[in-house]
Amino acid sequence: MPKSHSTAAKAAMDVSERSGPGMKEQSDVFDDRGRTVPWMARTVHRLYDAQAQKILDRENLPIAYWYYLRVLAARGEINQLELSKRVGIASTTAVPALDNLEKRGLVQRTRDPNDRRKYFVSLKDDGKRLVDEMMPELIDMISASLDGITQRDMRVFWKVMHQIENNLNQASQGDAVVD
């Protein structure tokens, strides 16, 4: 039988109370509701995705496809495997997404002249136009989500997030690709 929310939170708190060398204090790992940093990051990410999808729906563009367009807009032409890593999606999952984006005339794939098994992906003019049109509204949505947060708090937030990213990259020993 599944644990109730309060029982599960209590169990999480009980685990966090065990301390040993190198372990963080309970308050460093859990918030007042028993949530961890990864849990909150996931929750905030899902909320952003839901708000962004409302904007992207006007172009009938799934949020998952937006990530490809966004990386391509920032990076320019990129190897298909590198693109899927930067989006954080398995390369086999990227193929149908890129097929769809290519059919819509938003991206183009070209064979690598040095290795015919590989492809480069780039934005076409319509893809660039779409990113340019959608980006201001998405930025406005993100900005609105930061209402009530001071610039000082944002500097601290970014410092903390970058340190967490660095710690996790070191733990992954270079296996992770971060964009």
Phi, psi of 94 (to 5 degrees): -65, -30
pLDDT for res 173: 79
Question: Which residue stretches of 33-150 are H helix?
Answer: 37-56, 63-75, 80-87, 91-103, 125-145
Identify the segments of the chain with pLDDT beneath 50.
Answer: 1, 8, 11, 16, 18-19
| Domains of the chain, first to last | 61-135 (1.10.10.10)
Name the helix (H) or strand (E) containing 122. Answer: strand 115-123
Contact 117, 80 (CB under 8 A): no
Report the 10 Å Cβ neighbour count for 96: 9
pLDDT for residue 131: 97
**Contact present, 56 and 66 (Cβ < 8 Å):** yes
